[in-house]
Amino acid sequence: MILYQWRGPSSNFGDELNSLLWPRLLPGFFDDDPAVRFLGIGSVLDCRHPRHALKLVAGAGYGGYEARPVLDDSWVVHWVRGPRTAATLGLPDSLGLGDPAMLLPLTLTLPATRDGGIGFMPHFESLGRGAWQTVAALAGVTLIDPRLPPLDVLAAIGRCRLLLSEAMHGIIAADALRVPWIAIRPLAPVHRAKWQDWAEAAQVAPRFAPLPASSVAEWVVTGSPFARRLSRRRLDRMERGLAGVRSERLVARTAEALGRATGMAPQLSPDSALDRCQSRMLDAVARLRRQPCGSAAAHGCSHLQATADSAYQPTLIG
C-alpha cells in the first residue's frame, strides 16, 4: 500500500503532513505497492487515481480541483474530512468525522510555549506570486512559510500566541494545538469552498479577513478580470512575465490590511467538538488497523452503512 500525497513544484504543509502523521498512527502499514492507495490528508478525493487500484480513504476531502470520482468497488471509505465531502460524494453524513491533521497533537510532542508573537501563513501558491515577506515585515508579524519541512512549520505555529493563515491546514493545525487563529480568505477563489468541510465537522464558522493581492502577478492571477477570461496556460505565462514587477502601493495597501486583520477577534473550535472529532477518528484508525478493507479481502466488497454513533464501519462501495 502506498501513502498518497499530492506534490507540486514546491512542497505544501498540508499535503506533507501525511508523511508526518500516518507512519506514526499506522506503523508498518505502508510500502511501495501501487495496487493499494491510502488517501489521508488533502483534497484528493477525485478522479486522479488509477481506476483499478484499491483506494482506502481515511479523512481525505473533495476540493473541486478535479472531477468527482466514480465510487465503485475499488473504493473503501473509512471516513472523510467533513459533511460537505460526504454529501458531494453521496456518502453517509456520519462519515464526515474531520480532518486527520486534527490528530497531530495526539501523535507528536510539540512546543507548548506561546513566545512567538503573531504568525502569518500565506497559501504556498501566494508565496510564489506575491510580496508576502515584505508585507509581513511591514505589518509586524512573523511569516511562516508552508513550503518548509512540516515539523518546522508545526513548531512555528505552536510558538504563536495568534496565527493568521490563508492556508487551511495552518488553521487546522493551530486549532488542534489550541492556538487562537484568524482565517484569511484565500486570494484564489478555487481554494475557498473546502474550508467549510473541515469547519462544519469542527463546529466552527470561520470569519474570514480579506486581503488584497500583494503584487501585480498575484492580482492578475487571482483577482483581475483576466483570471476569469483566460486559460490556465495563458495566466501562467502572464504570471511568469510579471514575476519581477513590484508595486510599492500594492505592498503598502496589503500590509495595512494585514495589520488590521490582526485586530480581529480570534477563533477556536469548541473543546468538545475537537475532542469528539479526535475520539471518533481514533476509533476509525483502530478499526482500520484491524481490517483495512472492512470484512472483505479486496475489490468484491459488500456495502456497509455507517452508523450514527462512534461504532463506525467503513463504507465499501459495490
The answer to whether 171 touches 206, Cβ cutoff 8 Å, is yes
What's the domain range around 51? 2-105+274-316
3-class secondary structure, 112: coil
* Judgement on whether residues 22 and 139 belong to the same structural domain of the protein: no
C-alpha cell at 263: 485586530
| pLDDT less than 70: residues of the chain | 111-112, 223-246, 294-318
* Judgement on whether residues 300 and 190 belong to the same structural domain of the protein: no
The answer to whether 51 touches 69, Cβ cutoff 8 Å, is no
Quick one: pLDDT at residue 304?
Answer: 28
Number of CB atoms found within 10 A of residue 313's CB = 16
* Judgement on whether residues 192 and 248 belong to the same structural domain of the protein: yes
The answer to whether 240 touches 174, Cβ cutoff 8 Å, is no
* Judgement on whether residues 228 and 241 belong to the same structural domain of the protein: yes
Quick one: pLDDT at residue 231?
Answer: 52
* Judgement on whether residues 144 and 96 belong to the same structural domain of the protein: no
Of residues 38, 75, 28, 87, the one with CA closest to residue 60? 38
Of residues 214, 221, 213, the one with CA closest to residue 239? 221
* Judgement on whether residues 147 and 97 belong to the same structural domain of the protein: no
* Judgement on whether residues 131 and 234 belong to the same structural domain of the protein: yes
Quick one: pLDDT at residue 89?
Answer: 96
Which tens digit of pLDDT belongs to each residue from 157-178?
A: 999 999 999 999 999 999 999 9
Cα–Cα distance measured from residue 254 to residue 122, given in angstroms and rounded to the nearest whole number: 13
* Total number of domains in the chain: 2
* Judgement on whether residues 172 and 150 belong to the same structural domain of the protein: yes
Written as one letter, the residue type at 45 is L
Strands 118-121 and 142-143: parallel
Burial grade of 107 (CB within 10 A; 0-12, 13-18, 19 or more):
middle
Cα–Cα distance measured from residue 231 to residue 139, given in angstroms and rounded to the nearest whole number: 34
Check which CATH number belongs to the domain holding 180 and give it: 3.40.50
* Judgement on whether residues 129 and 215 belong to the same structural domain of the protein: yes
C-alpha cell at 315: 463504507
The answer to whether 76 touches 55, Cβ cutoff 8 Å, is yes
Strands 2-4 and 181-183: unpaired
C-alpha cell at 123: 497559501
* Judgement on whether residues 144 and 255 belong to the same structural domain of the protein: yes
* Judgement on whether residues 91 and 231 belong to the same structural domain of the protein: no
* Judgement on whether residues 163 and 82 belong to the same structural domain of the protein: no
Q: Give the global pTM.
A: 0.88
Per-residue CA distances from 312 to 75, 223, 254, 263, 304 (Å): 16, 43, 46, 42, 10
